[in-house]
Amino acid sequence: MPELPEVEVTRQSFAARIAGARIEEVRVGKPLRWPLGCDPATLVGRTVTSVRRRGKYLLLDLDRGLLLLHLGMSGSLRFDRAMPDAALHDHFDLVTTQGVLRLNDPRRFGAVVFARGETAPEAGKLLSGLGAEPLGDDFDLAVFHAGLKKRKASIKQVLLAGDVVVGVGNIYASEALFLAGIRPTLAARRISGPRAARLRDAIREVLARAVAKGGSTLRDFSNAHGEAGYFQLEAMVYDRAGEPCRVCGSPIRMIRQGARATYFCTVCQKS
């Protein structure tokens, strides 16, 4: 699943190129996770003013309203001056004066949703429950620690939930917890202030490094240029079960938490 770094890398790869483009046509294929929410023809003539990100959502600001895009489990975007005819898994084309933005999504868990504004009910339903942006200025340590103190669940599960801090998916939660030296099974409410500070800093560092590396390509992720990411090549624990820890040499262990694989070092992450 594309996580926050992959979504941010995707945004960076086409945001400047589509800014100022006027929409000429909207082509909708098979139904996605949620309906578009408007007649596609009503978007024709509107202008894309900017592209932002909130968690794992891309927000295409229009001169009237906005489009919220989610890549789901297997989605990816392409943006180019010209596109071949839509293939089996191409489900949404935004044709503009500066190129075509295409959503390809084999599993169709992604979505494109129109909203009249960021405070409109359609947008609020998707965005209102999201936690702090980990790469933004509002990732406040005191608020973060207070949020952890309210949760009985394991810290790994709390990070994945997205209501305390948004966008820390499975890969990067394992990596951040390793960097902070915290066992993924530890109850979130048991994390002290100093450890919360280490974890916040680790989350920032891991996500920023992943963005710089173009994200992680485990199966088929690529940005809007069609380029793969390389963060997975330097992962400390993720997908390395049985391999030696890069710090202490102990075997990396894998367990299941909420049906998701968790990777950690039993020596470097004692508690």
Catalytic residues: 2-3, 56, 260
- Half-sphere exposure of residue 201, counting CA atoms within 13 Å on the CB side? 10
On whether the CB atoms of residues 165 and 135 are closer than 8 A, the answer is: no
